[in-house]
Chains A and B, each alone.
Chain A
Amino acid sequence: MTTIQKKPGIGQTNPIAHLTAEDLELIAKELDDIRQSVIDTRGERDARYIRRVIRTQRSIELGSRVVLLASLFPPAWVVGTAGLSIAKILENMEIGHNILHGQWDWMRDPKIHSTTWEWDSATPAAQWKHAHNELHHNFTNVIGKDNDLGYGIMRVDEDQAWHPMHLGQVGLNFLNALFFEYGIAAYDLEFRGAIARGKLKDPKFRREFKAVRAKIRRQVTKDYVVHPALSVLTGSFLSTMAANFTANTVRNLWSHSVIMCGHFPEGVQTFEKRSIDGETKPEWYVRQMLGSANISGSKLMHIMTGNLSHQIEHHLFPDLPSNRYGEIAPKVQDLFARYGLDYCARPLPQQVYSAWHKVVRLSLPNGWLDQTNARNLPAQLKRLYQMSTGGPKVRRALQARISQEQRRSLVEAA
């Protein structure tokens, strides 16, 4: 992948080159109208929806926690863990994420409001809102600005120079998936940046660090001390602990997958940092349209992903109630079609595969994975070894050769 602006330079087409300024205006107008149509009809039906989801989630959580009091018995462990995983997923995705976006603020219910909600995650809501709503949603897919792409720890684009340390990013991404809530907390804290810039003593950092520490302490106490202790009577201390750890991990893996699917699969565009200087609203809209990918699937799938399966619609209108994304999706898709834009939507397994494939591909030098086959494997591995152990000069030279071979094979194929 290459940023949309650099595509023509390497012989690819810029997917929005055919749009005139007038087209952009018209697209923006249509999107504004779609947004307004939802706002005009927002009401009791939507309020009932979110209340029902919250009630369901709490009932499942309560039921599962009760079942887990006897988690020593394997059937109870299985049922309780499954239930708790589902409850935690619902809580983070369809409920927490969307409430914190302010999607339900219009109800003026102080219990379901972005300024009062706290979620079942290591990162405090306030810090997440800043990092996610203000940074990620504004700078979506702008290389160097949107750290959600790879969380600043991965190579996410061919244009970023390859370095041997990137070989580790597959493992790193998997670790991040397992402990995703802590990854997010560290990321929201800008932990890496703070270390790099020696800002660990900065009062703002210290304050936020303390907030995260307190939140994590409460979360850990709940799942790994209080609930196991309550299960002690049935001798289920350890098994409840394991159940809670499993549920947290399942939730982490699931949300990591869904979020990777949102911006990482092939077909999603990235953008140059400079390209957003003085960006207009229509340009912003188009960046959101091309910078996101959807997951197609059943209603249940949409709810379990917090309707982030409608990532495109969510990025266009982050504060519309999530139950409406599915309703406006056909209109949005139709708009894409009419303006010759690619609406990136595939089933979950394909999107997950595509995203992971990209992580793997970018962990290797540009073109390496494409050019490798059973026959040349030993030679390619040797090259990789040389690039990984040699200095920048070696890397540049070998990279040039791989790229040249890749171009030649492309020409031959054509």
Chain B
Amino acid sequence: MLECMSSTLAPAARWRSRALKLAEAATTPLVPADFLDLFAPMRPGAELRGRVESIHPETPDAATLVIRPGADWSGHVPGQYVRVGVDVDGVRCWRAYSLTHGPRADGRISITVKAVPDGQVSPFLVRHTRPGTLLHLEQAAGEFVLPVPGPGESGGPDEHDRRMKLLFVTAGSGITPVIGMLRNLYPSTDTGVLHLPRSAAYDIVVLHVAPSAPDSIFAADLRGLESAGVIRLVARYDDEHGVLDLADLDALVPDLAERTTFACGPGGLLDAVAAHHEGRGLPLFTEQFRVTALVAGEGGTVSFDRAGVTVDCDGGRPILEQAEDAGVLMPSGCRMGICYQCVLPMREGVVRDLRTGELTTAVPGETAVGGVRIQTCINAAAGPCHLDH
């Protein structure tokens, strides 16, 4: 049987690869995809793209984009994010956005973007994308996902006691990955929120922090889930309740000690939650949306030896951004120091970590032959540097 399979498959595969070679020979120096992209940019085998289908305002400065991803989209787990490449004023920019729906029956994905004042990409996505806009995508990524209950943890008569107890702490647009998880667990339909068997295993409290109720994305969704009785919601609005003090956490969430915390939002809150939980020895998973502290240094020239370009970098901004501004094609991912997609070998030079001020040096002859690998998204030049790129 196996033999028979391989003997029928092999010629097919061989023909395929021959046809591909022929197509390449016919299109060189371009590739067949360059021509196919004219007609079918979303076909299988194409670079991953997505077409914006609709845009739904959420608050005055946030909107949800519903996107039809290309044929090769391989799905996601709620809580994960997708990197989106968008041409802002003609310049390709990549940013990460959490997926705000669980896998949908219609195969669409959605992201919810809050326009950051002075932001390069987010205001563009919120205000200037139109249905039909083609975006570049990467496959979903990220570890900020719900733990799957192990066998024995759900089902059975004493199910209620064995439910997995979680606390979500979300600030501002940090609600986005969490809403993705909640919508997946508790789909909301015309007839109300569905109670699915697989969701019975979770006991969820959401502590949502935002400057004010009208600014708060998904506030209505959260209230809907609360009134359906599937989550407990603790909403704290700075203008109503004052700025959240983590010392009050026990009062807000009395069974805190039994819960595993998932926190998502800007760096300040995450740092505070991390310090609090570490002090108490409580389990914590976080997802950060932007780099916290910036420590400016002296700057220097950065030479991209293979591209043959030298960029004059100041010490206050990451090498990544300044090299991109100078037209160098740079690899990047989260752009905030967590994914390591932006790493390049430094053969010689000194860079400063913008978060900690820590210096990394490479001296030819002393450091490894391949150079020291540095993250360009969170390091700034602190002297002349040579990168192998």
Spell out A's residues near B (CB within 8 Å): 42-48, 55, 58-59, 62, 65, 102, 105-111, 113, 115-116, 118-120, 215, 218-219, 221-222, 225-227, 230
The chain B residue with its CB closest to the CB of A121 is B29
User: Judging by beta carbons under 8 Å apart, are B327 and A46 in contact?
Assistant: no
Min CB gap A185→B, angstroms: 14
Q: A47-B87, A59-B38, A115-B307 are in contact. Are A222 and B28 (CB under 8 A)?
A: yes
Chosen A-B contacts, 17 in total, with CB atoms closer than 8 Å, are: A43-B89, A43-B91, A44-B87, A44-B89, A44-B90, A47-B87, A48-B90, A65-B26, A108-B91, A108-B93, A109-B92, A115-B329, A120-B29, A218-B29, A221-B28, A222-B27, A227-B26
Residue numbers in A under 8 Å from B92 (CB-CB): 107-109
Contact partner of B26 among A55, A119, A222, CB < 8 A?
A222
B285 CB within 8 Å of chain A: no
| B28 and A218 within 8 A (CB) | yes
Q: How far is the CA of A55 from the CA of B22 in the complex (A)?
A: 22
Q: Is B15 located at the chain interface by the 8 A CB criterion?
A: no
CA gap between A43 and B128 in the complex, in Å: 15
Given A107-B92, A219-B28, A222-B25, CB of A58 within 8 Å of CB of B34: yes
Q: Are A113 and B329 in contact (CB under 8 A)?
A: yes
Whether B388 is near chain A, meaning CB under 8 Å from some CB there, is no
B residues near A215, Cβ cutoff 8 Å = 29
Chain B at the A interface: mostly helix, strand, loop or mixed? mixed
- With contacts A42-B90, A43-B89, A44-B87 known, is A102 near B26, CB below 8 A? no
* B89: nearest chain-A partner, CB-CB: A43
Q: B interface, how many residues as a size bin?
A: 20 to 34
Find chain A residues with CB under 8 A from B215 CB.
Answer: none
Q: Which residues of the partner chain B approach A119 to less than 8 Å between Cβ atoms?
A: 29
Chain B residues with Cβ under 8 A from A118's Cβ?
A: 29
CB-contacts of B1-53 with A (<8 A): 22, 25-30, 34-35, 38
Bound together, the chains give a CA A244 to CA B28 distance in angstroms of 14
In the bound complex, do residue B91 and residue A107 qualify as a contact, i.e. CB atoms below 8 Å apart?
yes
Bound complex: CA A73 to CA B89 (Å) = 47
How many Å lie between the Cα of A227 and that of B25 in the bound state?
9
Instruction: Note all chain B residues with C-beta closer than 8 A to A107.
Output: 87, 90-92
Chain A residue nearest to B47 in the complex (CB): A111
Query: Contact partner of B327 among A47, A65, A105, A120, CB < 8 A?
Result: A105
On whether A43 and B22 interact (CB within 8 A), knowing A55-B38, A118-B29, the answer reads: no
Given contact pairs A47-B90, A107-B92, A110-B329, A62 touches B324 in the complex (Cβ within 8 A) = no
Contacts A107-B92, A108-B91 given; does A116 touch B25 at CB 8 Å: no
Q: How far is the CB of A116 from chain B (nearest CB, A)?
A: 7
- Minimum distance in angstroms from A356 CB to a CB of chain B: 31
User: What A residues does B90 contact at CB under 8 A?
Assistant: 42-48, 106-107
Give the Cβ gap from B70 to chain A, nearest Cβ, in Å.
16
How many Å from the CB of A124 to the closest CB on chain B? 9
With a CB–CB cut-off of 8 A, which chain A residues contact B89? 43-44
Chain B residue nearest to A110 (CB atoms) is: B329
Instruction: List, in ascending order, chain B residues with CB within 8 A of A110's CB.
Output: 329
Kindly state the separation between the CA atoms of A130 and B138 in the bound complex, as whole angstroms. 34
A364 to chain B, nearest CB (A): 41
List, in ascending order, chain B residues with CB within 8 A of A225's CB: 25
What is the 8 Å Cβ interface bit string for chain B, positions 303-322, against chain A (1 contact, 0 not)? 00001000000000000000
- Asked if B327 and A106 make an inter-chain contact with CB atoms under 8 angstroms apart, the answer reads yes
User: Is there contact, CB below 8 Å, between A221 and B25?
Assistant: yes
In the assembled complex, the Cα of A153 lies from the Cα of B29 at a distance in Å of 29
Nearest B residue (CB) for A49:
B90
Q: Are A58 and B38 in contact (CB under 8 A)?
A: yes
B residues in contact with A47, CB < 8 Å: 87, 90-91
| B17 to A: closest C-beta gap in Å | 16
CB-CB under 8 A from A105, the residues of chain B are: 327-329
Known A55-B38, A58-B38, A62-B35; judge A218-B25 contact (CB<8 A).
yes
| A219 surroundings in chain B (CB, below 8 A) | 28-29
Collect the chain A residues with CB atoms within 8 Å of residue B22's CB. 226
Contact present for B91 and A226 (CB under 8 Å)? no
Q: How far is the CA of A56 from the CA of B106 in the complex (A)?
A: 34
- Return chain A residues, CB-CB under 8 Å to B327: 102, 105-106, 108
User: Which of A45, A55, A222 is packed against the most chain B CB atoms within 10 Å?
Assistant: A222
Q: Return B8 CB to nearest CB of chain A, in Å.
A: 27
In the bound complex, residues from chain B placing their C-beta under 8 Å from that of A58 are: 30, 34-35, 38
The 10 A-B residue pairs whose C-beta atoms are closest, nearest first, are A47-B90, A105-B327, A118-B29, A43-B89, A108-B92, A44-B90, A43-B90, A218-B28, A226-B26, A226-B25
Docked Cα-Cα span, A150 to B327, in Å, equals 33
A67 CB to nearest B CB, Å: 15
Contacts of A45 in B (CB 8 A): 90
